């Protein structure tokens, strides 16, 4: 006999495998699993108006879709925190902002249009967003940023392997967990 939790997991998996639902917040129709991303680093003090990447400056404050500079002292880039989902071949991606030391930021900018080779070394970084609901980490969660080929954003991996977010990155989450994340962002099924 199939229990209610098995049915819920199957329904959630069906939705994430291509089912459609009307969002309870925006009333748009969503189909299948999609990624979510933070718009700005948590410490960004200004409006969320992006400048073009090509206008990047390293002094003062700057924000584009891919780069952020704060006070000419703090350098951040967009990255992806991937979490496997039980029963699905693809991972759920959460777009986050991560810090880099200035020289690594400059190296990233230099390679931004052409990407990195397979042998690029990871960089130490701090997560600059509250990660995900249910994975509250306070203000300082460190990890490694792995540059990728092409124009793919780097992958962020949590360093503390006992942290619940690192466990999720290693072991995955349930389809219901993904729907709970969508719900916390206002994109759950109605």
How much is the pLDDT for 32?
A: 87
pLDDT for 140 beyond 80: no
Cross-strand partners of 158: 143
Coil vs helix vs strand at 107 = helix
Backbone angles phi, psi at 183, to 5 degrees: -60, -40
Q: Which residue has the tokens 């792995």?
A: 146
User: What tens digit of pLDDT does each residue of 46-102 get?
Assistant: 998 999 999 999 999 999 999 999 999 999 999 999 999 999 999 999 999 999 999
pLDDT band at 190 (very low <50, low <70, confident <90, very high): low
Q: In the chain, which ranges are E strands?
A: 20-22, 29-31, 36-37, 62-63, 67-70, 74-84, 91-100, 123-126, 142-146, 155-158
pLDDT for 7 beyond 70: no
Sequence-distant (≥ 6) Cβ neighbours of residue 186 within 8 angstroms: 23, 24, 25, 26
How much is the pLDDT for 26?
A: 73
pLDDT for 152 beyond 80: yes
Q: pTM to 2 decimals?
A: 0.87
Backbone angles phi, psi at 7, to 5 degrees: -65, -40
| Of 156, 105, 151, 153, nearest in space to 132 by CA | 156
pLDDT over 90 percentage in the chain:
55
Q: Please, what sign has the CA dihedral across residues 174, 95, 151, 143?
A: negative
How much is the pLDDT for 11?
A: 85
Residue 69: burial class (beta carbons within 10 Å; 0-12, 13-18, 19+): buried
- Cβ atoms of 8 and 16 within 8 Å: the answer is no
Q: What is the mean pLDDT of residues 32-37?
A: 88
pLDDT for 3 beyond 60: no
- Cβ atoms of 116 and 110 within 8 Å: the answer is no
pLDDT band at 1 (very low <50, low <70, confident <90, very high): very low
How much is the pLDDT for 109?
A: 94
pLDDT band at 182 (very low <50, low <70, confident <90, very high): confident
pLDDT for 133 beyond 70: no
How much is the pLDDT for 5?
A: 53
pLDDT for 137 beyond 80: no
pLDDT for 6 beyond 60: no
């Amino acid at each position: 006999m199939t229990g209610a939790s098995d049915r819920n997991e199957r329904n959630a998996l069906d939705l994430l495998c291509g089912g459609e639902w009307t969002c309870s917040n925006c009333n748009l129709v969503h189909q299948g699993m999609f990624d979510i991303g933070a718009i700005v680093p948590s410490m960004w003090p200004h409006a969320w108006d992006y400048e073009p990447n090509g206008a990047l400056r390293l002094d003062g404050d700057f924000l584009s879709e891919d780069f952020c500079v704060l006070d000419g002292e703090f350098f951040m880039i967009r990255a992806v925190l991937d979490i496997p989902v039980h029963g699905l071949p693809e991972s759920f991606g959460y777009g986050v902002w991560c810090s880099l030391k200035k020289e690594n930021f400059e190296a990233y900018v230099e390679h931004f249009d052409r990407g990195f080779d397979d042998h690029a070394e990871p960089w130490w970084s701090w997560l600059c967003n509250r990660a995900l609901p249910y994975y509250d980490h306070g203000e300082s969660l460190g990890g490694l940023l792995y540059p990728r080929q092409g124009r793919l954003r780097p992958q962020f991996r949590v360093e503390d392997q006992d942290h619940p977010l690192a466990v999720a990155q290693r072991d995955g989450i349930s389809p219901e967990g993904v729907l709970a994340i969508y719900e916390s962002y206002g994109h759950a099924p109605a």
